[in-house]
Structure 1
Amino acid sequence: MSGQKRREIMGAVAALLTSGCISDDESYMKIQEIEVVNLREEDVEVTIVAKRNNEIIYESTFEFKAIQGGSTDGVNLDEDWMRAEEDLEVTISAVSIDETAFSTADLSQDYGNTDCISTFCTVDTNGINVYYSRTEC
């Protein structure tokens, strides 16, 4: 086989193998909801900040009452800005307790690009804990 013919075949094989990897139709992880609850025995102030392209698109502070007899206080966010097709960075902080952050880019690596994720966060004696589960978009 001539060198020219070999290069043509190898070029065709390379194009075929990478054809699914190069696309303008990039899909993004979407967050279906963010739920935060206070499991501490004292009141807690929690701030949730969401950024897209380093711009704050959401910021809100909540005051959660202490857990009482198994009853918890918290918030459940289900907003359109969580499902836009761009990377989203979310930071959840509890004053003088803990802070945690996650991004849809990181979640895409763990859960795949086409899924929606529901997040459940607890504020307890260990700080802020975040749990993720796949959900329908």
Structure 2
Amino acid sequence: MKQNLKDFLFNLIISMLCGIVVGMTQMIVKNINVGIIEELIMFSIIGGVIGTISRSVFIYLVGIKQKSALLAFVCVFIVIGGISCLPSIYYYFVYKKIASIIELISILITAEFLGMSFCYYSYKRNLEFNSKLMSKKNQLLRKN
């Protein structure tokens, strides 16, 4: 239970940092303005949401449903892209502001690259951890 909480918090912090990087990339593309702090906080929260949902989707597909890792990576890619577009959709419907295609592409490329990189890192780390657990299990079985 304690390890799950540590993994969750680690994932949340990394995801929030990814959200900040995505937000800063957008700020550079848009030109920095007065509302930068609010937007960076928004991107941080969105990054945390994306990371938490992506992790849950990946764990559900690979760990619980025993699906292939490739399918899980594709689903995570779709989740990252979909949630990354939500602020632009929100601004369109609420404020009637259309995001520029360059702004949207910069968000998607940055979010997908960071999100998929972190997903792959987490996957590899968990494979190594499982390998160590299996090795320890085999050691204990041989002792008996």
The bucket for the TM-score relative to the shorter chain is under 0.3
Structure with greater proportional strand content: 1
Structure with higher Rg: it is 1
TM-score, normalised relative to structure 2: 0.24
Higher relative contact order by CA 8 Å / sep ≥ 6: 1 or 2?
Answer: 1
Structure with greater proportional helix content: 2
